[in-house]
Structure 1
């Protein structure tokens, strides 16, 4: 058996070996795919992804993520999604979807026809996902339903409390924060949508590509029942993390979006909101660096950036 070196006590190697024995695939090779803020992610035998939550809250999130995979199994989606293989309180196992390295540089080399085909792939997947009817009275959907207005109010309350507790809240900053949330609350179009099943982190890092086409979609860890426009936020980012705003516009067109300008404006507001998210995530993850970065950027936020 070949293993990478694991120094983290959070990785229950013996339990993983026992679980893989039970599902008929004894561990021959185990290597780390990712060690993020929330989970350790391992690849077993080149066939299975093992996600190990680092905190109790992440354990709950993973349970919901895997419940969504199980629910979606009944639908004929136009791209592969992970298949649930095994679950327990310490880790979860799903199928691995192999693909090719495909980033901004690879995308830039595509012909216009190939770019349109890729945009169409993503639009077709999203239209299918967003069109699935979910039982809102049942778990996990009743737990992942997002009331966007309520979420913003909770963010405001938590942000003020965090800054005040750390003696970082002065009168000008407090006024700016109040103005930001007043602008957000006045943007009625932000809250006018038909809630549906949303991947909620639909970026190239969570997609699998083959032959320059969309082959699979992974990591539904942020899944919600909420605003379908959330699935265009990453695609409309101007950075090189995905394929640029022009590509996002292609996806909107193939999707048949009724108000692409609104989707773009939501993406811009989401970008402007990122410093606040960094502050709150920094506290949640006990990540001082992330918190400090968000706080510095928060001081420079223009509240008018949140006017729709």
Structure 2
């Protein structure tokens, strides 16, 4: 980038399996984000992000309640394309910390829960033409359900997912009524790492590589990692109040399913990469999830195995 003189670098929250990322500070104290893909699949994701960010016209950007990155340069590296983005002061905040912040900002101009709900609602009312013109995926509810069923088959094939979870997910995926919803433009990869927070305010939303027309519930799945259920429920309520049409009644149920099923997707990815650490982590988290669901009564308790009677010494 002509005229850019880097003076410092900071870590940047990202998917470390697919990307190398960093924040660069230049001599004029401006910030830039660099994302380098580690594999062809990640490169495709960055190309998709490039397309959608180009579709955000100046007029649309001006109407958004948050900033979105601008790609200001790129460079080929090892046959893959590395991108340079504009970046704003601020940093991601852990989801439980976001919940803590929300109590201090509730009802004010910087109500963080209201800002999160508003950001999601804003994306969900984008015109679908933005996605279509960028040649990004457009899914129906049935296509989304079928894609998840195919992933469930892959999870079964690993032989490492607890049976209670498999039965629970299969039942939900086969409940056609759960999948009667209006597909909308979604961010697709929304989580706390993609919310840039400065002075308890959302200043920027990043990570637009998974944008598509899909299930609105997917943009809420990350909230189920929060230990504060009141924070999560409030965001759902605020979102419903801000949407021009009421969302479907099963929005929360599908968001919870996506949150749980994300562990199986992590397992599948680890198996594909032959990454023993990823697989071990995924298996541990899946076992913990099943135990937790049994404890709260969502899954039936594990049947107690009967110990064999003591065999007589005279036998």
TM-score range for the pair, normalised by the shorter chain length:
0.7 to 0.9
Are the structure 2 counterparts of residues 248 and 180 from structure 1 closer, same or farther at C-alpha, using a change threshold of 3 Å?
Answer: closer
Give yes or no for contact 1:237–1:245 (8 Å, CA) kept in 2: no
- 2:113 aligns with 119
Q: 1:291 aligns with which of 262, 279, 282?
A: 279
Q: CA separation in 1, counterparts of 2:10 and 2:106?
A: 38
2:242 matches 1:254: no
Are the structure 2 counterparts of residues 145 and 84 from structure 1 closer, same or farther at C-alpha, using a change threshold of 3 Å?
Answer: farther
SS of corresponding position for 1:119 = helix
Q: 1:90 aligns with which of 81, 89, 95?
A: 81
The count of residues paired between Structure 1 and Structure 2 equals 273
What is the TM-score when the length of structure 1 is the normalising length?
0.74
Structure 1 residues 53-92: aligned runs within 5 Å? 53-74=37-58, 75=60, 76-88=63-75, 89-92=80-83
Give yes or no for contact 2:138–2:213 (8 Å, CA) kept in 1: no
* Structure 1: tracts of 5 or more residues without a match: 1-19
Give yes or no for contact 2:71–2:86 (8 Å, CA) kept in 1: yes
Give yes or no for contact 1:130–1:197 (8 Å, CA) kept in 2: yes
Give yes or no for contact 1:275–1:293 (8 Å, CA) kept in 2: no
2:101 matches 1:107: yes
Give yes or no for contact 1:236–1:249 (8 Å, CA) kept in 2: no
Rg comparison, structure with higher value: 2
Give yes or no for contact 1:119–1:250 (8 Å, CA) kept in 2: yes
Are the structure 2 counterparts of residues 48 and 185 from structure 1 closer, same or farther at C-alpha, using a change threshold of 3 Å?
Answer: same
Give yes or no for contact 2:194–2:207 (8 Å, CA) kept in 1: yes
Q: 2:255 aligns with which of 256, 260, 267?
A: 267
2:131 matches 1:151: no
Superposition CA RMSD, Å: 3.3
Q: CA separation in 2, counterparts of 1:34 and 1:94?
A: 14
What is the TM-score when the length of structure 2 is the normalising length?
0.73
* Structure 2: tracts of 5 or more residues without a match: 300-315
SS of corresponding position for 2:22 = strand
State the shift of 1:61 in Å. Answer: 0.7
Runs of 4+ in 1 over 4 A off after TM superposition: 100-103, 143-146, 175-178, 296-300, 302-306
Q: CA separation in 2, counterparts of 1:256 and 1:117?
A: 16
Are the structure 2 counterparts of residues 143 and 93 from structure 1 closer, same or farther at C-alpha, using a change threshold of 3 Å?
Answer: farther
